[in-house]
Every structure is written in structure tokens, then in C-alpha cells.
Amino acid sequence: MAEAPKLPVIDLSASDRISSANSIRQACIECGFFYLVNHGVDQELLAQVFEESSKFFSLPLEDKSKLARKHHRGYTSLENLNPKSRSTGNSKETFYIGPFEDVTQSNLNQWPSEDILPSWRPTMESYYRKIHSAGKRLISLIALALNLDEDFFEKVDTRPTPFLRLLHYPGQLGSSDQEMYGASSHSDFGMVTLLVSNGVPGLQVCREKSKQPQVWEDVLHKDGAFIINIGNLIERWTNCLFRSTLHRVRPEGQERFSVAFFLDPNEDFMVECLASCCSESSPPRFPPIRGGDYLKEHMAS
Ligand SMILES: O=C(O)CCC(=O)C(=O)O
Ligand SMILES: [Fe+2]
């Protein structure tokens, strides 16, 4: 079993925001992963989310497939985040929920029938609101950690488009020679991800993506904490100062549930190397790109 790195714990409610921002900066430079506590999402709501998620994923495939993913929302059975990965695939199923505050966007979401799962939609909407509020506070600290205005990522025209993704790893180990990962090795595409699992292990990080052989370390579940990881777009903005770290979910032979909240940028937000992260001797490594174009290139359907 790989060793577990000691990830820093950031308190979202700490009164000394400058000190929190400094700790986030250090965590993002060193590993790109950290824990977040006192985030305002209560454990009872989280337990309900896992309960409803479990109810949905245990429906017959025929029912789940009626909500097959469209406009990035709804159900997917098997998917592979990294098509170039040598592992045969990802033994998991997922369900995506997009923004619903805006009426036009709200109509794009798909919901299981109220007759079958009456508490599903209110539970997910309530969780989405709570985690979104924690996410907004978090990205203002990330902005501070980069010496930017606190609202850099949150101005009206730059406001992120968050997506909630429920994941279910059924847990049966395959008999194939090739290893079947729960989620194969990948880094997240957007700005930042707030992740929580039901406590079943499996998540691992590879801190040095170019080092061979790759070294994978377990990320331990911590009761009441979210696991935060930086995505590729923050890595581009910061010229690789903040790390978008490779991670995967190893098969452990146990059923596992998790919920990821992705804060992706508004599609028109230009992602361009920050002035503080480049110099003559360290020029920008990536050309500027519209957030929407980057995500379109990297996400299927
Ligand atoms: O299930 C997990 O713990 C990780 C999921 C993940 O990495 C993702 O959805 O991008
Ligand atoms: Fe991920």
C-alpha cells in the first residue's frame, strides 16, 4: 500500500484570511491537494446526498439510461477520463448536475422521477447551493493566495459555471489481466474541485507526473473534510506554479461513492498567464485560451 502524504488542513472559517491564503499557496505549490474543514456543509446533508445517490445508482440500468447525459447533465455508465491511459477503462457510473439558478440553464438538468425518488431533487439542490457557497469562499482565498483581487474569479462576467458529479464505483474486481481502475489517472480540467467520499479508500495522487516510474500515494479520507484539488486551468493561469496533480481511484473491491463539485470558469473568461507568474526568464508556457474552448477540447459530449 502506498504511503499517504500529510496534506495540509485549511479552515475555511478562520478569521485570519491572509494566513489561510498563505497556507493554500504553499499547499498548491507543493502538492495541489489539501483538506478543507469548517466549510459550512453539514454532515447530515452530506449523509442524505450519499443515501439518495445510492438509491439512484441502485435503480435498474433501464431507468437510469432514460436520463442519459445530455448537455453535460445526467447519467453515464462507463467512461474513461483519459483515453490515452493504458488501463482498460473506468469501472464507475456518474450523474452530473449543472447550474439551476438561471431558468434557461435549469431546464437542461435532468432529474429522476419524483414518484420513484421524491427527495432526490431537493437534496441535490440543497447540497449544490451549500457546496457552491463554500466553493465561492474558497476561490476568493485562492485569488488572495495569488495576490489577486478577492473577486478575481467571481466578477459578474467571470463567474464560474459549477458542476456537481455523483460517482459510484460498484467495487467488483474484474478478472481481466489489465487493471481496471475506478477512475484512471487524470488531472481535473477546470479551476478547482471540492471532493468528498463515503470513506471507502481508493483515491491516490502522483505528485511528480513526469518522474518514472510514477509514485502513487494514498489520499486518506478525513471525516468532515473536503479534499480540494487544483485543476489544469489554474495551473495554466499560474504558469505551473500551482499544480494540477494527477490522481486516480484504485479498485479496492468495495463499493464506493463520492461527490465532486467542479468550479469551472465562465466560458468567456480568458485564461492567460498571470503577470506575477511569468518573467523574461520564465515566459508563459501556454498561450491564452478562452475557458469554454479549453473545456470543450477536454470534455466529451
Ligand atoms: O472519486 C474520487 O475520489 C475521485 C473522482 C475524480 O477524480 C473526478 O471525478 O475527477
Ligand atoms: Fe478528478
Average pLDDT over residues 169-197: 82
Q: For 30-54, write each residue's pLDDT tens digit.
A: 999 999 999 999 999 999 999 999 9
- The closest alpha carbon to 232, from 285, 192, 173, belongs to 192
User: How far is the CA of 180 from the CAs of 91, 172, 193, 205, 241, in angstroms?
Assistant: 7, 10, 24, 17, 32
pLDDT band at 79 (very low <50, low <70, confident <90, very high): low
The 8-class DSSP code of residue 64 comes to H
List, in sequence order, every residue forming a beta bridge with 271; answer none if it has no partner.
289
Residue 87, pLDDT above cutoff 70: no
Distance 219 CA to ligand 2 centre (A): 13
Q: Which three cell numbers stand for residue 262?
A: 467542479
Residue nearest to atom 9 of ligand 1 (CA): 260
CB-based burial label for 84 (10 Å; 0-12, 13-18, 19+):
exposed
Residue 260 CA, closest ligand 1 atom number: 9
Residue 17, pLDDT above cutoff 90: yes
Interface predicted TM-score (ipTM):
0.99
pLDDT at position 157? 66
Could you tell me how far CA 187 lies from the centroid of its own chain?
9
> Of the segments 3-12, 32-41, 155-164, which one has the largest average pLDDT value?
32-41
Listed in sequence order, the residues at least 6 apart from 59 whose beta carbon sits closer than 8 Å to its beta carbon are 112, 116
Task: Determine the residue of 35, 167, 298 to mutate for testing ligand 1's pocket, defined as the one with the most ligand atoms within 8 A of the Cβ atom.
Answer: 167
pLDDT at position 88? 52
**Cβ proximity of 35 and 222 under 8 Å:** yes
Average pLDDT over residues 109-116: 96
**Which domains are seen in the chain, by residue range?**
9-265 (2.60.120.330)
The 8-class DSSP code of residue 162 comes to E
CA distance 286 to 235: 10
Residue 289, pLDDT above cutoff 90: yes
Please count the other Cβ atoms lying within 10 Å of the Cβ belonging to residue 290.
16
Q: Which helix (H) or strand (E) holds 121?
A: helix 120-145
**Cβ proximity of 181 and 91 under 8 Å:** yes
Q: Which three cell numbers stand for residue 259?
A: 461527490
Residue 301, pLDDT above cutoff 60: no
Q: Which amino acid is at 258?
A: S
Average pLDDT over residues 274-300: 91
Average pLDDT over residues 157-172: 86
Q: Which ligand is nearest to the CA of 256?
A: 1
Q: Considering only residues 209 and 38, tell me which one the structure prediction assigns the higher pLDDT.
A: 38
CA distance 179 to 204: 15
Quick check: CB of 247 below 6 Å from ligand 1? yes
Average pLDDT over residues 283-301: 87
Q: What angle do CA 21, 198, 222 make, to 5 degrees?
A: 40
Residue 229 CA, closest ligand 1 atom number: 7
User: How far is the CA of 211 from the CAs of 214, 234, 241, in angstroms?
Assistant: 6, 22, 18
Judged by phi (left if over 0) then psi (alpha if -120 to 50, else beta), residue 224 lies in left
Q: What integer best gives the mean pLDDT of the chain? A: 90
Distance 240 CA to ligand 2 centre (A): 18
pLDDT at position 174? 60
Please count the other Cβ atoms lying within 10 Å of the Cβ belonging to residue 300.
11
Quick check: CB of 184 below 6 Å from ligand 1? no
pLDDT band at 172 (very low <50, low <70, confident <90, very high): confident
pLDDT band at 89 (very low <50, low <70, confident <90, very high): low
Residue 214, pLDDT above cutoff 80: yes
- The closest alpha carbon to 136, from 8, 292, 263, 274, belongs to 263
pLDDT at position 177? 42
